[in-house]
Amino acid sequence: MSSPRETFLRLVNGVCDGPYEDLADLYAEHTHVTHPLHPLNPPPLRSRSELHAHFTASPPVDRTLNRKPVGVTIHETADPEVIVAEFAYQGRVAETGEEFTVPCVFVMRIRDGLIIESRDYIDHVASARAWGQLDSLLTALRPQESTTSGGAARP
């Protein structure tokens, strides 16, 4: 059985190196993973199968990120199941050579070597920029124009 520290390190290294198909196995069958700072407020991931779909989904753009976790600091808490991990994903976009850093803080509850809860505080703007998705994120954040009864768009 892996310690919380070992499970976290397997996760962040696996996100960088793969295989992505195996990442969901680090989570309990019933889990609760949230991204509280995500600007689009996606719903929590609550099961291993949802996490498998999350990790194996094709990126919406053709970019390859060569990345690694850096600056890893793991804080143990009074609760032996809970850790707080500070780190960043750092790397380069293979197609453009652009360098990036995506700061993160994960607050995780890990029981018997499996993640049962995680709050993943990620700089989603930096992540969107690295993936080449900043324009689509900004578009999704803009309020949709509504029309008045006359059919003209409101200012």
46 domain residue, yes or no: yes
106 domain residue, yes or no: yes
36 domain residue, yes or no: yes
Rounded CA gap, 155 and 143, in Å? 12
150 domain residue, yes or no: no
52 domain residue, yes or no: yes
Q: What is the pLDDT of residue 152?
A: 47
In the chain, the number of structural domains is: 1
In terms of residue numbers, what domain contains 98? Answer: 4-140
CATH number of residue 25's parent domain: 3.10.450.50
Q: What is the pLDDT of residue 154?
A: 41
pTM for the predicted model, two decimal places:
0.88
Q: pLDDT digit string (tens) for 87-116? A: 999 999 999 999 999 999 999 999 999 999
Instruction: Give pLDDT < 70 ranges for the chain.
Output: 60, 145-155
Strands in the chain per DSSP E: 27-34, 45-47, 65-76, 82-93, 99-111, 114-122
Q: What 8-state DSSP symbol labels residue 23?
A: G
153 domain residue, yes or no: no
Q: What is the pLDDT of residue 32?
A: 98
Closest of 56, 53, 6 to residue 26, by C-alpha: 6
